[in-house]
A and B are shown apart, each in its own frame.
Chain A
């Protein structure tokens, strides 16, 4: 199972919106609605931001939203804030009854 494909880096200014893509195949993202997104600050454990493509766990800001089209999922962060600067990882359930992560995207808030 190959890792999902994410851009290595994205950037945006405070207050702007950015979108991070996550591309897989019909065996993972395209085959189910079990895509999740994680935020990871340096030296910390990942934090769940989105599950089941577009649902936020309790306590996660509404500035974070998720969507999916075909084999590509997306995470959008609106109203960028300095504390959003972190690495972001997508994940998907697969047809092999396993889970696979993306390579990660470094978000820089300019």
Chain B
């Protein structure tokens, strides 16, 4: 059973940077296409970026809104994906989720997320 376990809640000052980790267990991490999705309090889901398998696993794609401010990396040796978000502002206060793209042996990857981390609450405040 694949699980994604994220790092704990964070309190950050405006202008600082955030790093959230997402550690996988129960499967083959090298085949996981991980994305990061955030949810501001009482708001909807927002895709920030992630691996789009059709382009390979080396280079993540990012939502235009976060271009230049977000970096997504992965360390296969420890089965962990990371999200780094810089120049934090109060509007970045949200729950940050990592999510694994749905994969079926017979049909390959699908642009949907079947396994989610538990979420990491990030509060940006002076």
Q: Which residues of A contact B (CB under 8 A)?
A: 1, 3, 34, 36, 38, 45-48, 51-52, 57, 89, 91-93, 96-104
Contact = CB atoms under 8 A, between A and B. Distances in A.
B111 A99 contact: yes
Contacts of A3: 44, 46
A103 B113 contact: no
Contact of A89 (B44, B50, B54, B55): B44
A45 B4 CA distance: 11
Contacts, number: 74
Contacts of A101: 37, 44-47
A102 B44 contact: yes
B61 A97 contact: yes
B111 A57 contact: no
B47 to A, nearest CB: 4
A57 B114 CA distance: 8
Given A3-B44, A45-B117, A100-B47, A91 B97 contact: no
B118 interface: yes
Contacts of B112: 34, 36, 48, 51-52, 91
> Which 5 residue pairs are nearest across A and B when measured between Cβ atoms?
A36-B112, A51-B112, A45-B116, A34-B111, A93-B111
B20 to A, nearest CB: 14
Contacts of A46: 37, 45, 97, 99, 113, 116
Nearest to A34: B111
